[in-house]
Amino acid sequence: MLEKNKKSAILLSAITVLSFSTVNAIGNILIPYLTTGNLQVVIAHPENLRQPSNLIALILILGSLLLALVLIGAYWLDRFFGEKYFGVRGAFRWALFGALFALFMMAPQWILPDTWRLATNLLKFLSVFLAFFTARKLIPLQTS
């Protein structure tokens, strides 16, 4: 079903970007809003989004950014990952990778003090590898 080709690479990349974006939005937008009830915690000037041109520009910029991330991820998947990383099992693994990557990117800010910037940035850098190998451990590669 999701054998190795360009279309399935785009689909798997889109699953990863969607998973990453969803977890990131929940952690950075939804939780602060629900805990405070104040929209200005999330958006500094919410009145700017009442103008249709600003809202359309925001949607277009975010859409372009997500599309670029999907295409870059699809290129890497198609070019550098083998057949074992595709399929339904691979789709679940890439979704888990995206969610773990978002969590591991946010975690250093939660647990380390603000003065530990070098350690925070190093952990953020390592989060992609930690998320990849954790997802691979939780959902092993296909053996066929």
pLDDT in tens, 43-100: 777 777 788 888 898 889 989 999 999 999 899 888 888 888 888 888 899 999 999 9
Residue 132 has pLDDT above 80, yes or no: yes
Q: CA nearest 22: which of 89, 101, 90?
A: 101
Residue 144 has pLDDT above 70, yes or no: no
Q: Distances from the Cα of 123 to the Cαs of 51, 104, 117, 127, in angstroms?
A: 39, 8, 10, 6
Mention every residue, 6+ apart, whose C-beta is less than 8 A from residue 69: 13, 17
Percent of the chain with pLDDT over 90: 42
**C-alpha gyration radius of the chain:** 18
Q: Distances from the Cα of 49 to the Cαs of 58, 111, 122, in angstroms?
A: 9, 33, 35
Enter the tokens of residue 73: 């991820």
Share the mean pLDDT of the chain. 87
Residue 129 banded pLDDT, cuts 50, 70, 90: very high
pLDDT value of residue 1: 61
Q: Which of 88-92, 126-130, 135-139 has the lowest mean pLDDT?
A: 88-92
pLDDT value of residue 70: 93
CA distance 94 to 135: 8
Domain positions in the chain are: 6-138
16 or 37: which carries more pLDDT confidence? 16
Q: Provide mean pLDDT across the span 10-34.
A: 89
